């Protein structure tokens, strides 16, 4: 809490004037990314690129965000997992926003002919969301404190692009 107050340029007491609890701070900090990133996925749909290139950009941008704020995110995301426990309404809303954005990306990829059509879009969107969220979990898990986030996310993007490609 002292670190967050210092980084915000306020006293700990002032910080608690805005946020009644540590959980409220964690949720507020996470919600910014959670609300903006599905919009970033949608924005990528308008680029004149292949789905493979879009995925590389999306995963690279996520890695860059988490690398840029690594110390803070290393505290926020485990706490977020604890607070939400994977079962509350806000967690479902976040998941649904990502799935919808990924479904839009997949449809454009299908229209371009570079995304397979033999598997339902909702399953492929779940796969993309799972890769992104697993990357976050592993990046900030206790066992991966020194993990190269950017390299790992590039691997996730490449794996997902290969899985999405139409069968040969």
Helical pair 89-112 and 22-44, crossing angle rounded to 10 deg: 10
Q: What is the mean pLDDT of residues 24-49?
A: 84
pLDDT over 70 percentage in the chain? 83
18 CB-side CA count, 13 A: 14
The 10s digit of each residue's pLDDT in 60-84 is 998 888 777 776 677 676 676 677 6
Q: What pLDDT is recorded for position 30?
A: 73
Q: Give Cβ neighbours of residue 80 (< 8 Å, ≥ 6 apart).
A: 26, 27, 30
Collapsing DSSP to helix, strand or coil, 52 comes out as helix
DSSP string, 131-151: HHHHHHHHHHSGGGTT--HHH
Q: What pLDDT is recorded for position 90?
A: 59
Contact 1, 15 (CB under 8 A): yes
H-helix segments, the chain: 2-8, 12-18, 22-44, 51-68, 70-84, 89-112, 121-140, 149-164
- CA end-to-end span of the chain: 53
Contact 79, 132 (CB under 8 A): no
Q: How far apart are CA 111 and CA 22, in angstroms?
A: 45
Which pTM does this prediction carry?
0.79
Instruction: Identify the burial level of 123 via C-beta atoms within 10 angstroms of its C-beta, where 0-12 means exposed, 13-18 middle and 19 or more buried.
Output: exposed
The 10s digit of each residue's pLDDT in 95-126 is 899 999 999 999 999 999 999 999 999 999 99
Q: How far apart are CA 129 and CA 74, in angstroms?
A: 20
Q: What pLDDT is recorded for position 116?
A: 97
Q: What's CA 101's distance to the chain center, in Å?
A: 12
């Amino acid at each position: 809490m002292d670190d967050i107050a210092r980084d915000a340029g306020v006293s700990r007491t002032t910080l608690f004037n805005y946020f009644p609890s540590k959980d409220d701070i964690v949720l507020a900090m996470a919600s910014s990314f959670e609300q903006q990133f599905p919009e970033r996925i949608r924005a990528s749909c308008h680029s004149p690129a292949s789905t493979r290139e879009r995925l590389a950009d999306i995963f690279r941008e996520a890695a860059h965000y988490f690398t840029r704020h690594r110390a803070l995110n290393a505290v926020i995301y485990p706490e977020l997992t604890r607070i939400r426990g994977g079962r509350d309404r806000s967690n479902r809303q976040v998941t649904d926003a990502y799935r919808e954005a990924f479904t839009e990306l997949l449809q454009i990829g299908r229209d371009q002919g570079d995304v397979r059509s033999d598997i339902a879009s909702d399953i492929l969107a779940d796969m993309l969301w799972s890769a992104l969220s697993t990357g976050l979990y592993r990046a900030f898990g206790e066992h991966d404190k020194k993990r190269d986030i950017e390299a790992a996310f590039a691997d996730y993007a490449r794996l997902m692009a290969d899985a999405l490609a139409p069968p040969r």
